[in-house]
Chains A and B, each alone.
Chain A
Amino acid sequence: MAAPLQQPRLLQSGDNAVTVEFSRTIDDAANRRVLALDRALAAEPIAGVTEAVPTYRSLLVHYDPVQIGFGDLGDKLLALAQRPVADTTAARRWRIPVVYGGEHGIDLEDVAKTLNTTPDDIVRQHTAGDYRVAMIGFTPGWSYLSGLADFLHLPRRQNPRLLTPAGTISIGGVQTGVQCLAGPSGWHLLGQTAVRTYQLHRDPIFLLEPGDRITFAAVDAKTFTEQDRAAEAGEFVAEQIPA
Chain B
Amino acid sequence: MSKLVITSIGPASSIQDAGRPGSQRYGLVPSGAMDRLALAAANTLVGNEPLAACVEIGPFGATFAARGGAVRIALAGASRNADIAGRPVAPDTSATLADGETLTLGFSRSGSFSYLAIEGSIAGEPTFGSLAVNARAGLGSPYPRPLQAGDELQTKAASGAPERRIELPAIPDGPIRVVWGPQDDEFADDTKKLFVDSEWKISPTSDRMGYRLEGPVLKHLHGHNIVSDGTVNGSLQVPGNGQPIVLMPDRGTSGGYPKIATVITADFGRFAQTPAGRPFRFQAVTMAEAQAAARQFAELLRSLPDRLRSIESVDLNLDALHDANVAGYAVSAIDANTWQAEAAGPD
Contact = CB atoms under 8 A, between A and B. Distances in A.
A138 B346 contact: yes
Interface residues of B, number: 51
B294 A65 contact: yes
B227 interface: yes
Contact of B229 (A12, A56, A156, A160): A56
Nearest to B236: A14
Contacts of A26: 227
B5 interface: no
B254 A137 contact: yes
B27 A65 contact: no
A52 B229 CA distance: 12
Contacts of A135: 228, 254
B306 interface: no
Given A12-B180, A17-B232, A162-B341, A138 B23 contact: no
Contacts of B259: 13
Nearest to A70: B287
A51 B262 CA distance: 18
Contacts of A156: 345
Interface string A202-226: 0000100010000000000000000
Nearest to B340: A184
B21 A62 contact: yes
Contact of A55 (B137, B229, B290): B229
Contacts of A144: 228, 346
Nearest to A142: B27
Interface in B243-288: 252-254, 259, 262-265, 287
A21 B295 CA distance: 26
A183 B21 CA distance: 22
Interface residues of A, number: 57
A58 interface: yes
Interface string A50-61: 111111111010
A216 to B, nearest CB: 18
A187 interface: yes
Contacts of A12: 179-182, 262, 287
Contacts of B139: 200
Contact of B179 (A14, A23, A50, A187): A14
A16 B27 contact: no
B227 A14 contact: no
Interface of A: 11-17, 19, 21, 23-26, 38, 50-58, 60, 62, 65-66, 69-70, 135-142, 144, 156, 159-162, 172, 177, 179-181, 183-187, 198, 200, 206, 210
> 6 closest Cβ contacts across the A-B interface?
A60-B230, A137-B254, A14-B262, A11-B182, A15-B290, A160-B345
Interface of B: 21-28, 127, 136-139, 179-183, 226-235, 252-254, 259, 262-265, 287, 290-291, 293-295, 298, 337, 340-342, 344-347
